[in-house]
Amino acid sequence: MQLGFFDLDNRYAQLSKLKDPLVELNRVIDWNLFADLLSGITTKPRKSAAGRKPFDRVMLFKMLVLQRMNNLSDEQLEYQVGDRLSFMRFLGLDMAGVVPNAKIMWVFRGELKENHLMARLFARFDECLRELGVELKSGQIIDATFVIAPKQRNKREENEMI
């Protein structure tokens, strides 16, 4: 199925009409407040300019906010960001954008901990919410997995015995 010219805009408009809470969060939080802390991350220098450019650190922090709000594993965070339009819009990703994978999130979280920034970032985030009088309600997206059960090929007599 191919998207029409206005299909995505129509879907976003529908989400907005349904009061997407992430639109409100983006509206009330100045995410640039976190850029100065995130710029303090020391990383290994790149060996060459080849390959994909690093992901925006503010966007990665916003992914951690989504993860905390929804109690998601790294793998489920990757899946939900790739699957949900509301998450993509919150992060500034479009349908063709590359979604950071679970490994990138794991490495980013490690960099934050190594630079003693994880607690400071979330303290600043929580402080912003308090100043605005905003209460963030966390939920849980169930981390469901389907397992295919083996088929039994019993004869009728065997089923009667079971």
Of 87, 49, 47, 82, nearest to 65 by C-alpha is 87
Other residues' Cβ atoms within 10 Å of the Cβ of residue 71: 13
Identify the pLDDT of residue 31: 95
3-state secondary structure of 44: coil
Question: Tell me: the pLDDT tens digits for 2-52?
Answer: 556 666 677 667 766 767 788 888 888 999 999 999 988 866 677 777 777
Identify the pLDDT of residue 132: 84
Question: Tell me: the pLDDT tens digits for 84-132?
Answer: 888 998 999 988 888 999 999 999 999 999 999 999 999 999 999 888 8
Identify the pLDDT of residue 10: 73
pTM score, whole prediction = 0.76
List, in order, residues 6 or more apart from 69 with CB less than 8 Å away.
136, 138, 139
* Average pLDDT estimate for 67-80: 95
pLDDT at position 140 over 60: no
pLDDT band at 143 (very low <50, low <70, confident <90, very high): very low
CA distance 90 to 25: 8
